[in-house]
Structure 1
């Protein structure tokens, strides 16, 4: 099939979960003899027209000049280009700035949209923006031939609210195998002697709650936060609020997967505060990296982790976990989570599931 992938800033990944998925899936599909095209923002540092056999289409993106509104123009440019490519399948990753252009999508291809999380519930958005995002969600469902949900919770929500079926396919991860010949080194961090959090700097990721809990614990071990602090006003607020605590280290954004895997693998306790959305990539990657996980208690996280993690709902809960837990005593939880990655969430399984669903959708639409 000829497959076009829209909705990301591009590959290789320099941004986030959808970009990481597009990176893995596009190469996987190409290796299975599909003709794959990925749209890249012209601002993306990768400037070549081919990446591991995948065609790269560079589309104009004015986000650096006009801010968030530029994402709508970028998506418009991608969709407009897709009209001349004669795709069999168009995979849209998300909908927040693209679904208003859904009426421009070409009619011949099978349009499949990954519905991402409940974007309109994110507390970073004003009431007006949340209202628009709910409208954008409705448009995405209306203009797509088929839908993908990356969590059971999202699948149930779409069925209940819109009476629409969607295919449950989670995000993927790999089980990390550390290099036993080289010892862990990253700045002055030592194995099992630091806490870790990896997230975008947004309120619904409960970073402030987690760091408040760390401060309350008076722990002797440092707490490392990985994420682009300068990218949001909330991130800058967090950095300012916790600047007087020497134990809290903002390490900035890190995209090298091996470095991230090593940091997760060697952490004492990994905190996952996400509370809105579907299956979060960083959670699966933590499971695959043999982290002991403390997660915000909500249905999305519990659906993935089940009883194989610690849970928190407040800064006091976080403080108690920091005082009492570390991975040396809970290898059973770690093992069960890494087993889940191998059986339910491996990239091989997820990528194969996408291609099977593509075939089913294409054949059904064109029978």
Structure 2
């Protein structure tokens, strides 16, 4: 009887709440990745009790558990190389559809797929979602098909897949206005329905003090001094323009250091060494990765300036974090970056001499000039990129 009572309570709850199934992140708890952080923050900052989230997660075992008040669903994925992500998304979506099918009392569920990996297979899933009375939302992410890390056939697949995800989505949620405009123009034959909801940023200062032993020890071991280094944090891939940043930094006359926090790939590192000989410049420090969030935030806060060379994708999480913490930000001049920072940063191009000249220029900025840029950058984050604001927008959308 007690079991029957609990089942009825669960059914009553699922009848009264909007059921939202999120597929495409590696899952939560998260300690990496943009989509993973998004799902973590979306559920962590949840305000409405009318929404019940179900989050698919990649795992080496099956099962379900509760985290952040979320139904977390483990999907066991065999090692399959590049096809692993496609298999994972399809298996996750299949599970979520079956979950609703086995609970006919669930009304109008939302299936929110992050990224466009499963386009060639999406049509039959869309039909089944419609049969359930559900809707398919898609986050198109950035220009995955432009990333140099992929071979030409894989890039063609991403582009092909994107087209079908746009065609079959009931709604595309774009985290960049530039991406939204691209979707509307590139796929106008499908009359895509889009909305813009940005990515969020944490606006709280680091819990570590400037004299915290953890921070001082990290700095000392890497030969860095507060406010005497330029910084970059990001994936170690060609489209983030490490080559340009290294070449231009070496051309500059700055006496400051350049700290690169990244997960180094030996092959790409070797290519950069051959093209730049950066290892002969004592100012350049590859310092590995930093997974301690408060430490990383303190490293950002005490950088003299931050370089951002991303040119593929939508609203980039590392850019938002930089604008929220570092006062002086030097950004590659592309639409994605200008859209976010506006006049709260200074800009460079890939043309030879552009960044090196800018470095020499900002090296002589007054503290007041830097403070004013930092103030504008933080205003941009507070205006439209706080997690509270982003979560409000998502909850309003899901409940509408």
Instruction: Please give the TM-score of this superposition, normalised by the length of structure 1.
Output: 0.88
| 8 A Cα contact 1:264 1:289, kept in partner | yes
Deviation at 1:205, TM superposition (A): 0.9
Give the structure with higher Rg (CA). Answer: 2
Show the counterpart of 2:103: none
Show the counterpart of 1:278: 314
Instruction: State the superposition RMSD in angstroms.
Output: 2.4
Higher helix share: 2
Distance in 2 between residues matched to 1:236 and 1:21, nearest whole Å? 33
Distance in 2 between residues matched to 1:258 and 1:340, nearest whole Å? 22
Change over 3 Å in CA distance of 1:358–1:122 after alignment to 2: same
Say yes or no: does 1:209 pair with 2:244: yes
Deviation at 1:179, TM superposition (A): 4.3
Show the counterpart of 1:269: 305
- 5 Å-filtered alignment, 1:251-270, equals 251-270=287-306
> Unaligned stretches of 5+ in structure 2?
1-17, 101-105
Aligned length: 354
1:131 to 152, 156, 175: 156
Distance in 2 between residues matched to 1:35 and 1:7, nearest whole Å? 18
2:260 to 225, 239, 259: 225
Q: Which range moves more in the overlay, 241-250 or 348-357?
A: 241-250
Change over 3 Å in CA distance of 1:265–1:128 after alignment to 2: same
Distance in 2 between residues matched to 1:48 and 1:182, nearest whole Å? 42
Q: Which range moves more in the overlay, 71-80 or 338-347?
A: 71-80
CA deviations 1:331-365 (Å, max 9, x no partner) are 111101101111111100111111111222xxxxx
Deviation at 1:218, TM superposition (A): 4.8
| 8 A Cα contact 1:30 1:36, kept in partner | no
| 8 A Cα contact 2:327 2:375, kept in partner | no
| 8 A Cα contact 1:290 1:338, kept in partner | no
Show the counterpart of 2:57: 40
1:80 to 74, 83, 94: 94
Q: Which range moves more in the overlay, 142-151 or 83-92?
A: 83-92
2:399 to 347, 352, 359: 359
- 5 Å-filtered alignment, 1:65-144, equals 65-86=79-100, 88-95=109-116, 97-102=117-122, 103-105=124-126, 106-107=128-129, 108=132, 109-144=134-169
2:179 to 154, 176, 182: 154
> Unaligned stretches of 5+ in structure 1?
361-367
- 5 Å-filtered alignment, 1:270-349, equals 270-314=306-350, 315-326=352-363, 328=367, 329-349=369-389
